[in-house]
Structure 1
Amino acid sequence: MMCEDDDIRQLLAVAAASPGDALPLAERLIAAHPDDARLHFFRGSMLAGSARPIEAHAALSRAVALAPDFALARFQLGFFELTSGEPARAQATWEKLSTLPDDHYLRQFVTGLIHLIHDRFAEAIAALDGGIATNAETPPLNHDMQLIIDQCRPLLNPAAEAEEASPTSFLLGQLGRGSLH
């Protein structure tokens, strides 16, 4: 049985007002509704933001296992894998998102991140910008993508690079301290 939408709204309200209280509430809701992918996704996002990566990965993976077509959960799982230094695993996780329309923000974000993995910074910026422009569904995700764009811009000019930086080390350094939204 799925969690009631009112309970999900309450969970989101608690997260906004008192983030520390949201994780215990999510866990209570999961105990009552263990097959609700939305709850596992939310819990995984909260755990990632609390620097609990092993539990976060397990929760995000559970959300995708329960609802393989839950595109946002699949994107976030892959993004978490990428920022954890596992680009091949992230690409495999994102593979199913290739069925989204070309102009869907998640598909554009995936395209940009794959360009980043391959050091194609101009293409990464263009795709991430395109995703931000079309993403009205999950605005907090735009912040994470803008951080990546801001860090890619200096890499467009090799003379400005102080040192060689791989996309993975860049992501680990810049976003590893952040949270998933």
Structure 2
Amino acid sequence: MYENLDDAELLRAALDAMNREHNADAVSLLKILVDRNPVHPYGHYLLAAEHMQLGMVDRAEEGFARAVALAPDFPIARFQLGQLYLVKGDGALAKSTLAPLADLPSGTALASYAKGLIAMVDDDVSGAVEALQTGLACEQEILPLAGDMQRLLANLMAPTEDGAFPAGVETTMSAAPLYLSAYGKTDP
């Protein structure tokens, strides 16, 4: 049925299916795209986001990692892979994945968000709060991501007596991947 569509048409149709929350159609179209063009980083990225949306964490991890391997300078794919590692509890891998993003030009929201997540790995709540506030003060290219970072910041700013992360932070980070596909619903 889709054999007459080229890569750009498959991608556009998949994005349309994602925007309509037709996950099965989006997954089918993206699978065709990456089977036909296995070096299409955006196709792997979107397929991983759909897998995450469906709760298929291992497939999502594999897809985000593939997208980053194909395009190491694909910042949102790298960010989401780092975020996924953080959610899975692998702080060291999250930190090494996010580190290149922290070196993006200052004034870049994604760089500040990456610094905030790295600070979380290091149990540096004040550093995480400062970095997230800085990121939120920047121009926002991805509004759903900004919303996730605002919720995370609100949880981090909740005071605790022992200085540990507030209980709600884990919930926020666990819930964040539910929004991953929303980060990619625009053209590459």
TM range (shorter): 0.7 to 0.9
Q: Is the contact between residue 109 and residue 131 of structure 1 (CA under 8 Å) also seen in structure 2?
A: yes
User: Percent sequence identity over matched residues?
Assistant: 29
- The aligned amino acid for 1:146 is Q
Gaps of 5+ in 2: 1-5, 184-188
Counterparts of 1:118 and 1:133, CA distance in 2? 23
Displacement of 1:6: 4.3
Q: Under a length normalisation based on structure 2, what TM-score does the superposition of the two structures give?
A: 0.81
Report the CA distance shift for 1:32/1:15 in structure 2 as closer, same or farther (over 3 A): same
Displacement of 1:62: 0.4
Displacement of 1:119: 2.9
Counterparts of 1:4 and 1:133, CA distance in 2? 37
Match of 1:158 among 157, 160, 176: 160
Displacement of 1:145: 1.0
Counterparts of 2:105 and 2:12, CA distance in 1? 28
Counterparts of 1:39 and 1:137, CA distance in 2? 20
| Match runs of 1:1-181 below 5 Å | 4-20=7-23, 21-154=25-158, 157-159=159-161, 165-166=164-165, 171-178=169-176, 179=178, 180=180, 181=183
Counterparts of 2:54 and 2:164, CA distance in 1? 27
Counterparts of 1:141 and 1:60, CA distance in 2? 16
- The aligned amino acid for 1:13 is D
For these two proteins, the number of residue pairs brought into alignment is 173
Counterparts of 2:136 and 2:28, CA distance in 1? 32
Counterparts of 2:116 and 2:46, CA distance in 1? 24
Displacement of 1:48: 1.2
Report the CA distance shift for 1:98/1:115 in structure 2 as closer, same or farther (over 3 A): closer
**Pairwise CA RMSD:** 2.2
Q: Under a length normalisation based on structure 1, what TM-score does the superposition of the two structures give?
A: 0.84
Q: Is the contact between residue 44 and residue 58 of structure 1 (CA under 8 Å) also seen in structure 2?
A: yes
Displacement of 1:41: 0.6
